[in-house]
Structure 1
Amino acid sequence: MGAINSVRRLTIQCLGLLEALEPTTVEIENKATAIHVMQSLIRDKWPHLTLRPFGSSENDLDIGVFFDPPALVNSLSWNDRLQVLASIASILTLHDGMELHQFIFHARVPLVKLWDSRRKLAIDISIGSSHAVGNTLLLKRYGEMDPRVRPLVFAVKHWAKQRGLNDASNGTLSSYGADLFLLPPSCG
């Protein structure tokens, strides 16, 4: 009986944390607006690029840069990818309210960290990976199968973020890496 009560208490606490920290409707709209504005700004120079959000939506906005055709990304060298990111950052920071916070080029997945001062939004942009989108969908499916998954994943991400443990660009786990500790293996 004690274990059942502990699970119930944990579930209630995770749900409470999710409700307290989950983005509001305004924050969700701000993220959608930010993506739309950024897509419009880069469309002139890069008409074959699409910006897509991925990951959870706790406080920041993770965006993948996707190419059309998708196979084009495979032909890009490391330096080409860095140049694309630098060009996108340059275009976006010319826009009022968008500031370059950091360019992390030494990470396994290079990224640009921006700050949108109009919407008070931290934005991470990387060259998109079908894995990132697929991982997001996988977590969504797990959450649809078991309603406890999303609050628990959210709580673990929050816990790790508060302790500086979920910043893959600085050598710790990615958010998705931490999530995998919570999920059952999917291989047979």
Structure 2
Amino acid sequence: MQNTNKQIVDDDEQYRQQKWLDTTMSNMLLKTYVYLKQPKLLLDYKRTIQDLITRYLAMIMEEKFKIFLIGSSLTSLGSNRSDIDLCMVIYDRRGQVDERYQNRVYAEHKLSKIRTILESFGIAYDSKVIRANVPILKFYDHNHIEVNLNLNKLVTVQNTLLLMHCCSLDSRVAPFLFTIKLWAQKNGINCAYFKSLSSYALSLMAIFFLQNVCQPPILPSFDHILELIKQSTKIYSNFYSNNHYKNDSKFNFKSNRSTSQSKLNNNKYQQDS
């Protein structure tokens, strides 16, 4: 009987210590996210650069086009030092996405022309065309913020929408993904250019964990998420603002809100080890 009581006391003490640790770590992770995440002022500035580039290119280019702000700038995963990622979609005379730019050489040639235009207006500095499988125009604006622009890679727009929606479904998702991204950056394993995993790939792995390892799941399946996106957004229109990507009350998925932020991160690393 005495041993039983001692076991109960020990278990209770262990539970209190674990709860304190979870709460403390959760607060630390959340504070880190709040401190390092992209401020609204920076997002507004990025939109200004987006508009400026669009306006100057429209003065010279004959083709119809749209420029989308993509990546961490819109997904709630950007830091206060994140760069500006843009996807420029050029349309043909029928109003369809111009398939010619799927050709790498053709895309590189067009990006070189865009580079010349932006340099002539004085908004692109230290610019260069990265000749890769997905060619990118890389340059810096007058505030030394890096800008990366791709041509007709609509998948980058779709990927942005997916992460935006995942982060909108549960308030813990963005800090969780942000922490993993920060950890990967510190360890130099989040750059696809150097043959390591991309930030997007790491995010998908973390989302899979939230969907399948956590019980009950924190996020629904990708099929469910994509269905929510179809019902609540138009993928290629009105992408300027993310106000309409908020979670809609008519969707009845309920996540496991009893799992602490720190436990999510600890469990993720234990699964990976």
Task: Please state if 1:94 is matched with 2:120.
Answer: yes
Gaps of 5+ in 2: 1-14, 212-220, 224-273
TM-score, structure 2 length as denominator?
0.61
Residues 1:120 and 1:75: Cα distance change in structure 2 (over 3 Å): closer
TM-score, structure 1 length as denominator?
0.85
Distance 2:206 2:34 in 1: 20
> What percentage of aligned pairs have identical amino acids?
22
Distance 2:169 2:20 in 1: 22
Residue number in structure 1 paired with 2:36 = 21
Residue number in structure 1 paired with 2:269 = none
**5 Å matches for 1:29-68?**
29-43=44-58, 44-57=60-73, 58=78, 59-68=82-91
Partner AA of 1:21 in structure 2:
L
**Higher mean Cα deviation, 175-184 or 46-55?**
46-55
Distance 2:112 2:25 in 1: 43
Distance 2:62 2:199 in 1: 29
8 Å contact kept, 1:11–1:152: no
Offset of residue 187 of structure 1 = 5.9
Partner AA of 2:85 in structure 1:
D
8 Å contact kept, 2:69–2:87: yes
Distance 2:22 2:202 in 1: 20
Distance 1:41 1:14 in 2: 41
Number of aligned positions between the proteins: 186
Residue number in structure 1 paired with 2:141 = 116
Partner AA of 1:130 in structure 2:
L
Residue number in structure 2 paired with 1:161 = 185
Offset of residue 19 of structure 1 = 1.3
Gaps of 5+ in 1: none
**5 Å matches for 1:141-160?**
141-160=165-184
Residue number in structure 1 paired with 2:240 = none
Instruction: Show CA shifts across 1:95-128 (max 9, x none).
Output: 324213442212x3221211112x3311111123
Distance 1:172 1:74 in 2: 29
8 Å contact kept, 2:57–2:118: yes
8 Å contact kept, 2:129–2:136: yes
Distance 2:123 2:106 in 1: 27
| 1:120 alignment partner, SS class | coil
Task: Please state if 1:127 is matched with 2:151.
Answer: yes
Distance 1:84 1:160 in 2: 33
Residues 1:5 and 1:124: Cα distance change in structure 2 (over 3 Å): farther
8 Å contact kept, 1:63–1:126: yes
Structure (1/2) with the larger strand percentage? 1
Instruction: Show CA shifts across 1:123-148 (max 9, x none).
Output: 11112322211111111221122211
Partner AA of 2:86 in structure 1:
I
Distance 1:28 1:121 in 2: 12
8 Å contact kept, 1:104–1:169: no
Instruction: Provide the alpha-carbon RMSD of the alignment.
Output: 2.3
